[in-house]
């Protein structure tokens, strides 16, 4: 089986071409990549605010959410890169890791407060 038969490859947009529906066809891996980059920026900003405004529960909660979210997406990348999980199951992997992250976040938050 040829590589092109396995995956559908979208043709790149040409200069000046618009496709308003293209984001709906974007695969889950691209959204995960984008969200991890955004969460990295959120961690940096929230960590800076945390150092300036110490002991603010809302700020600490937002920092915890951003760190756990970033860690979950990082674990996804590690598991996929090392071949522990097949790429076909990345939606289930994201769901399972998201649930694990939520449980860990609740455990950490309850132990702090």
Each residue of 29-66: pLDDT tens digit? 889 999 999 999 999 999 999 999 989 999 999 999 99
pTM: 0.78
The residue with greater pLDDT, 15 or 55, is 55
% of the chain residues with pLDDT over 90? 67
Q: What is the DSSP string of 49-79?
A: HHHHSTT-HHHHHHHHHHHHHHHHHHHHHHH
- pLDDT of res. 4: 54
Query: Domains of the chain: which residue ranges?
Result: 34-112
């Amino acid at each position: 089986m040829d590589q092109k038969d396995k995956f559908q490859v979208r043709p790149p947009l040409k200069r000046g071409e618009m496709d308003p529906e293209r984001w709906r066809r974007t695969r889950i891996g691209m959204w995960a990549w984008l969200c991890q980059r955004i969460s990295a920026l959120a961690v940096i900003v929230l960590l800076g605010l945390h150092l300036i405004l110490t002991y603010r529960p809302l700020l600490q909660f937002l920092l915890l959410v951003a760190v756990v979210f970033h860690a979950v997406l990082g674990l996804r990348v590690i598991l996929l890169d090392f071949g522990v999980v097949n790429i076909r199951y990345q939606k289930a992997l994201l769901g399972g890791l998201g649930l694990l992250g939520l449980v860990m976040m609740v455990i950490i938050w309850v132990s702090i407060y």
